[in-house]
């Protein structure tokens, strides 16, 4: 059995084109965005709740978004003329609008927050509005893999309309918050997003999905993150900011839905930010605090406090994400959900052990957010 679809080889040049073009645009545009951010004082200044010891501008997500939207828009327009990849029958023009226009709206909302530092309730309202916009343009998760396996029942479970809409809102808003929560060290969220985008792109070329059209979009996103990562990796000269968090979370959520839903894949490859967000929300609620109150309870904080350096922590989490990506590529259907649950339980145990290290996650003198996102 072939791992990739028969026409995967013919798609590779366009994947490389999408990756390289978006990387170049993002790479060249990021310093421009940085100068604009400095001009308008959209800057994270050093303080008790930061790890940067010099002022660092935020808003780098704008460069990522422009690169992705521009390259994707051009390639999709060219594809409409010469059809270098087939358009899936279940992908309509309205879906493309929801992805690209919605990504632009997410970025614009993030820019406002980067400049004005909006309160959490306004950020959540923006996330909810983006989720509703995505649903209105056709991004609804109306089925999931059968968690008990196709031997006992159907391979997929179709959700009632109300449940599908509720699950879709939770998925999109949850993805944005997961990226927000993990955006705590230089290059962390952008690197994780890069790994996830490449994985979703590669898996779109497998027979189970057979969506080279979606793969092109995923590699365009990967390229835009790659170009930005040059400026965002430690020591960062610019942070992604809320504009980057909103755009990346929204776009990854929609790419995992576009065409044939790949939610189980996204759950696994993005297991680190998703699980980190869940356990920290549970911990904060158990302590009677707001689930969005900042502290030093995230996985990256735990690793820093056991002695790893900034770069070592980021690279270690990259490695974990790559391993999860390989699992997502090798496993199928319900087994991906089983793997996610195994990682979920194991991560909770690891976080518990790390929490026994003696530092106080609730110490206000050492709390996050680090990059101005959470």
Q: Report the percentage of the chain scoring pLDDT > 90.
A: 54
Comparing 9-18, 36-45, 277-286, 358-367, which segment has the lowest mean pLDDT? 358-367
Whether the model pTM is above 0.75: yes
Q: Is 118 exposed, middle or buried (0-12, 13-18, 19+ CB in 10 A)?
A: middle
More confident of the two residues 356 and 126: 126
Residue 6, pLDDT above cutoff 90: no
Residue 102, pLDDT above cutoff 70: yes
Task: Verify cis geometry, omega within 30 degrees of 0, for the bond prior to 235.
Answer: yes
Comparing 84-98, 130-144, 259-273, 289-303, which segment has the lowest mean pLDDT? 289-303
What is residue 66's predicted lDDT score, i.e. its pLDDT? 98
What is residue 374's predicted lDDT score, i.e. its pLDDT? 45
What is residue 146's predicted lDDT score, i.e. its pLDDT? 64
Q: Which residues of 47-81 are buried (b: 16+ CB within 10 A; e: fewer)?
A: eebbbbeeebbbbbbbbbbbbbbbbbeebbeebee
Contact criterion met (CB below 8 Å) for 42 and 247: no
Task: Give the confidence band of 51 by pLDDT, cuts at 50, 70, 90.
Answer: low
What is residue 198's predicted lDDT score, i.e. its pLDDT? 97
Residue 45's SS3 state is coil
Which stretch, 36-40, 64-68, 158-162, 305-309, has highest mean pLDDT?
Answer: 64-68
Distance CA 80, CA 87 (A): 9
Q: What is the pLDDT of residues 82-94, one digit of tens each?
A: 989 999 888 899 9
What is residue 371's predicted lDDT score, i.e. its pLDDT? 38
- Can you tell me the mean pLDDT for 117-121? 80
- Cβ-based neighbours of 325, under 8 Å, separated by 6 or more: 195, 196, 198, 199, 268, 269
What is residue 3's predicted lDDT score, i.e. its pLDDT? 82
Q: Is 335 exposed, middle or buried (0-12, 13-18, 19+ CB in 10 A)?
A: middle
- Can you tell me the mean pLDDT for 138-149? 76
106 — phi, psi (to 5°)?
-60, -40
- Can you tell me the mean pLDDT for 168-179? 94
When computed from its CA atoms, the radius of gyration of the chain, rounded to whole angstroms, is 20
């Amino acid at each position: 059995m072939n791992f990739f679809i028969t026409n995967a080889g013919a798609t590779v040049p366009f994947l490389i084109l999408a990756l390289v073009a978006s990387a170049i645009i993002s790479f060249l545009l990021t310093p421009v965005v940085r100068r604009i951010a400095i001009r308008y004082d959209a800057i994270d200044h050093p303080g008790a709740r930061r790890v940067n010891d010099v002022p660092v501008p935020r808003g780098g997500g704008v460069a990522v978004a422009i690169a992705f939207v521009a390259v994707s828009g051009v390639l999709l327009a060219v594809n409409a003329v010469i059809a270098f990849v087939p358009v899936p029958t279940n992908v309509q023009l309205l879906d493309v609008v929801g992805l690209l226009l919605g990504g632009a709206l997410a970025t614009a909302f993030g820019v406002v927050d980067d400049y004005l530092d909006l309160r959490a309730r306004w950020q959540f309202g923006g996330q909810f509005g983006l989720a509703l916009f995505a649903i209105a343009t056709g991004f609804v998760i109306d089925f999931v893999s059968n968690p008990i396996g196709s031997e006992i029942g159907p391979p997929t479970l179709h959700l009632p309309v109300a449940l599908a809409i509720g699950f879709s809102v939770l998925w999109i808003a949850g993805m944005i918050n997961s990226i927000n929560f993990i955006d705590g060290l230089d290059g962390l969220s952008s690197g994780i997003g890069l790994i996830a985008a490449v994985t979703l792109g590669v898996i779109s070329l497998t027979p189970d999905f057979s969506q080279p059209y979606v793969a092109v979009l995923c590699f365009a996103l990967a390229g835009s993150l790659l170009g930005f990562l040059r400026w965002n990796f430690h020591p960062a000269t610019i942070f992604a900011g809320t504009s980057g968090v909103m755009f990346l979370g929204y776009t990854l959520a929609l790419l995992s839905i576009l065409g044939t839903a790949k939610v189980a894949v996204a759950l696994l490859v993005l297991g680190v930010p998703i699980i980190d967000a869940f356990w920290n929300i549970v911990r904060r609620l158990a302590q009677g605090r707001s689930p969005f109150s900042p502290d030093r309870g995230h996985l990256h904080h735990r690793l820093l406090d056991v002695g790893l350096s900034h770069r070592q922590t980021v690279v270690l989490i990259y490695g974990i994400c790559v391993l999860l990506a390989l699992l997502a590529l090798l496993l199928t259907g319900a087994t991906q959900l089983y793997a996610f649950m195994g990682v979920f339980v194991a991560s909770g145990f690891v976080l518990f052990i790390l929490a026994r290290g003696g530092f106080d996650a609730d110490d206000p003198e050492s709390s996050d957010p680090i990059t101005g996102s959470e």
